[in-house]
């Protein structure tokens, strides 16, 4: 398929595409309209996992563990219970935490229908995590600063006692050098221990201070003004995109599943026969367009059909054209009446033979009686001249069906029909034979081998491809002379009738 065929499918199935688009947009619009708006507030926190300039692999692992620790602790039951207590909420909104990749940042996201509640919960949760930072960093045990402080106090007491012992020995027993030296060494040892503990205590104090400040709020949550959902513009844009894609998909699917004839090219490809005419769909009041003074699209299409028939049919005797269709209601009888009118306006002597002896219609279109006709000739031997009727169109006569057959199984006597057609060929320039639908009754197959050129009428968008193939196969099986196909209910280009409309306006002015 080329681009032109795709465009034709889109044009044919435009209403499917449009309906799908309308449904998609309508559904999304209703959902968007009735969806409760939700707001998201975000608090950004920094977890300071390293204070030095040089960061080792171990430091990176520690940093990842700390970030993941805070992310998981933020949604634990104790923390959420504390959050309910501080905010006074019976149920908490949707809370999620995430680590910003390649940073020391954590985002706390809170989604709630109430924007104020969302910001309040986000900031309160950040405050709870900040308060818990010291116990989190120490793992829940006593901080080393407290342990060192207890040891430092104990050594301080021991150092004071050692100094007092040394002073007492110097004052009361100056000659006891051995004990004085031992007391001096003890004081010196205690001082060294005290100095070491003091140094360790200061380091621990600084370390604990740093750990106590390891998590801090960088960007507190503010009250959001725009909801994160629904998003009408985005939703409707997506609905339009989905509707168009879905509509195109359905259009091509329906076109693929639709086995009816849609173009003249398809008819010619299937049958190998030329399309003799493209008859547009018209209202009943345009049935006899050629008998009116104004020109209409139907008139032009019928004239084209007449010209093509003259070029394709035999001229050794009166032009005899048998018209049939695969199924009933294909519009062949209307085409025959208009075609006969066209030949009559071209000064030809024309007769229509209504061979549909089951459901005749020619007399109704031409507003003629049908008490007598072809059935009287075939069954009662009535003279042909007695049943032929003249119409209001000069040069156009009709041999109506007469009283229809009461049983579908009744058949046409071939020999008598051959004589009837032969007589009519001697009386008229053009003989047009209307037969029943071929796939419904076999009458057309009985008449087709007679001295006539056969034309098949198919309806665009109604006749199935397999019906056309079957009709052609059955006609060829009886050696019918198929000359072409007429496409009924064809889509005509408007610009073809530009000159008609222009000339009509000029005439009226």
pLDDT (tens digit per residue) in 232-291 = 899 999 999 999 999 999 998 988 888 888 888 889 999 999 999 998 876 654 455 445
pLDDT score of 210: 54
- Quick one: which H or E segment has residue 431? strand 430-434
Question: What local confidence, expressed as pLDDT, does residue 110 receive?
Answer: 95
User: pTM higher than 0.85, yes or no?
Assistant: no
Range scoring the smallest mean pLDDT among 142-146, 203-207, 410-414, 476-480: 142-146
The total number of residues shown for the chain amounts to 509
Q: Is the pLDDT score of 486 beyond 60?
A: yes
Q: How far apart are CA 56 and CA 181, in angstroms?
A: 48
Ramachandran region of residue 312, left (φ > 0), alpha (ψ -120 to 50) or beta? alpha
Q: What is the CATH number of domain 38-229?
A: 3.30.70.1130
In sequence order, what DSSP letters do the residues of 166-189 get, joined into one string? HHHHHHH-TT-HHHHHHHHHHHHH
d(CA 159, CA 165): 10
What pLDDT score was predicted for residue 37?
A: 93
Do 279 and 298 meet the contact criterion of CB atoms below 8 Å apart? yes
pLDDT score of 456? 96
Mean pLDDT for 436-461 is 90
Confidence of residue 323 (pLDDT cuts 50, 70, 90): very high
In the chain, the percentage of residues whose pLDDT exceeds 70 is 84
Supply 91's token pair: 């149920």
Query: pLDDT of 379-406, one tens digit each?
Result: 888 899 999 999 989 999 999 998 876 6
The structural domains of the chain, with segments of one domain joined by +, span: 1-35+238-258, 38-229, 264-508
Q: Which residues neighbour 472 within 8 Å (Cβ) at sequence distance 6 or greater? A: 271, 273, 456, 482
Name the CATH topology of 264-508.
Answer: Rossmann fold (3.40.50)
**Both tokens assigned to 2:** 């080329």
Residue 314, pLDDT score: 75
CA distances from 370 to 329, 344, 378 (A): 20, 22, 15
Listed in sequence order, the DSSP H helices in 35-143 are 57-73, 77-87, 115-131, 133-138
Angle at 257 between CA 252 and CA 261, to 5 degrees: 95
- Tokens standing for 485? 């196909």
pLDDT at 175 over 70: yes
């Amino acid at each position: 398929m080329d681009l032109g065929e795709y465009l034709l499918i889109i044009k044919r199935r435009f209403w499917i595409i449009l309906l799908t688009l309308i449904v998609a947009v309508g559904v999304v619009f209703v959902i968007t309209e009735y969806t409760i708006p939700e707001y998201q507030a975000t608090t950004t926190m920094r977890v300071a996992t390293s204070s030095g300039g040089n960061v080792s692999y171990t430091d990176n692992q520690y940093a990842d563990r700390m970030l993941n620790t805070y992310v998981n602790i933020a949604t634990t039951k104790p923390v959420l219970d504390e959050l309910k207590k501080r905010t006074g909420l019976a149920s908490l909104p949707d809370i999620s935490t995430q680590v910003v990749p390649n940073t020391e940042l954590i985002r706390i996201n809170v989604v709630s229908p109430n924007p104020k509640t969302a910001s309040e919960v986000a900031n309160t949760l950040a405050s709870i995590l900040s308060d818990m930072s010291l116990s989190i960093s120490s793992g829940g045990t006593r901080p080393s600063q407290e342990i060192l402080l207890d040891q430092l106090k104990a050594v301080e007491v021991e150092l004071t006692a050692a100094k007092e012992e040394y002073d007492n020995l110097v004052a009361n027993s100056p000659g006891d050098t051995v004990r004085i030296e031992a007391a001096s060494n003890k004081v010196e040892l205690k001082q060294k221990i005290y100095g070491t503990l003091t140094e360790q205590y200061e380091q621990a104090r600084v370390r604990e201070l740093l750990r106590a400040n390891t998590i801090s709020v960088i960007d507190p949550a503010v009250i959001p003004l725009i909801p994160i959902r629904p998003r009408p513009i985005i939703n409707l844009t997506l609905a339009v995109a989905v509707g168009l894609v879905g509509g195109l998909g359905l259009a091509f699917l329906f076109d693929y599943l639709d086995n009816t004839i849609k173009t003249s090219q398809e008819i010619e490809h299937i049958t190998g026969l030329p399309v003799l005419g493209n008859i547009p769909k018209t209202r009943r009041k345009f049935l006899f367009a050629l008998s009116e003074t104004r020109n209409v699209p139907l008139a032009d299409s019928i004239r084209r059909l007449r010209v093509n028939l003259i070029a394709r049919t035999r001229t050794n005797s009166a032009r005899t054209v048998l018209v049939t269709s695969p199924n009933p209601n294909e519009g062949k009888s209307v085409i025959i009446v208009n075609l006969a009118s066209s030949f009559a306006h071209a000064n030809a002597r024309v007769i229509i033979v209504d061979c549909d002896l089951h459901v005749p219609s020619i007399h109704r279109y031409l507003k003629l009686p049908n008490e007598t006709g072809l059935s009287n000739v075939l069954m009662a031997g009535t003279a042909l001249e007695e049943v032929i009727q003249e119409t209001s169109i000069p040069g156009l006569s009709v041999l109506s069906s007469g009283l229809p057959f009461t049983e579908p199984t009744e058949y046409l006597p071939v020999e008598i029909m051959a004589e009837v057609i032969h007589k009519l060929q001697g009386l008229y320039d053009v003989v047009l034979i209307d037969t029943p639908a071929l796939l419904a009754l076999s009458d057309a197959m009985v008449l087709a081998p007679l001295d006539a050129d056969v034309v098949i009428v198919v309806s665009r968008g109604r006749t199935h491809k397999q019906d056309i193939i079957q009709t052609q196969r059955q006609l060829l099986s009886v050696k019918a002379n198929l000359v072409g196909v007429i496409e009924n209910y064809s889509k005509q280009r408007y610009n073809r009738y530009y000159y008609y409309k222009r000339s009509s306006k000029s005439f009226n002015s």
